[in-house]
Structure 1
């Protein structure tokens, strides 16, 4: 792999950025991943206007534009961008809805970081094969 893969994380909880930095400290230090954080959907769209991350990871419950609308807009702009949705309220209907809109998966909160790491690894490997 050449260079760190950028992951765009959209979550309005202020401690999430620090939690991701702690949980991925080894991968960040080794240059596997680089994280960019946005607190709102529009902020994420602004980032996507100038950058192409390897994966977008978004909470469903964000202020203003919710995660579902963000997912729809991202898939309209960048249909090939892998998107992982995160929520504390993930029922079967929500999971089916986000997958139907093009998300790779729905990750429940609290986040199982081992599962998230393996999911990211699979998505980045698949990106490398495209």
Structure 2
């Protein structure tokens, strides 16, 4: 079963970075990535539907237009069962508190430690499969 992961980030090189770091998982068909450059674009993509279906959302907090925290609130209202990991260059206590209070599954800081991110993604997968 291929798991869809939606990555929401306005940085133009983020797609290449994720594809490089998750190369083995992509080749084996374990995951498939969807990318959105803004929170608005992410909501549009989710409304239309993505294949494979989105299983996990990774979203930057600071983006032009709608912030990642605003996106998180919308996702919690529309799809509360989908885990959301917030990604930020600002790992301060306030951002962490706001993200977790609004229903984020976890928060990781940039630069992303992809070894740790993979562990986190795998633990979410295991939790979902056990449920």
TM-score by length of 2: 0.94
The residue aligned with 2:61 is 60
Task: For 1:94 and 1:14, locate their aligned partners in 2 and report how far apart those are by CA, in whole Å.
Answer: 23
The residue aligned with 2:29 is 31
Q: Provide the secondary structure at the position in 2 that maps to 1:124.
A: helix
The residue aligned with 1:107 is 108
Task: For 1:54 and 1:43, locate their aligned partners in 2 and report how far apart those are by CA, in whole Å.
Answer: 17
Gaps of 5+ in 2: none
Question: Residue 15 of structure 1: CA displacement?
Answer: 0.4
Q: Provide the secondary structure at the position in 2 that maps to 1:89.
A: coil
TM-score by length of 1: 0.95
The residue aligned with 1:96 is 97
Task: For 1:96 and 1:122, locate their aligned partners in 2 and report how far apart those are by CA, in whole Å.
Answer: 21
Gaps of 5+ in 1: none
The residue aligned with 2:4 is 6
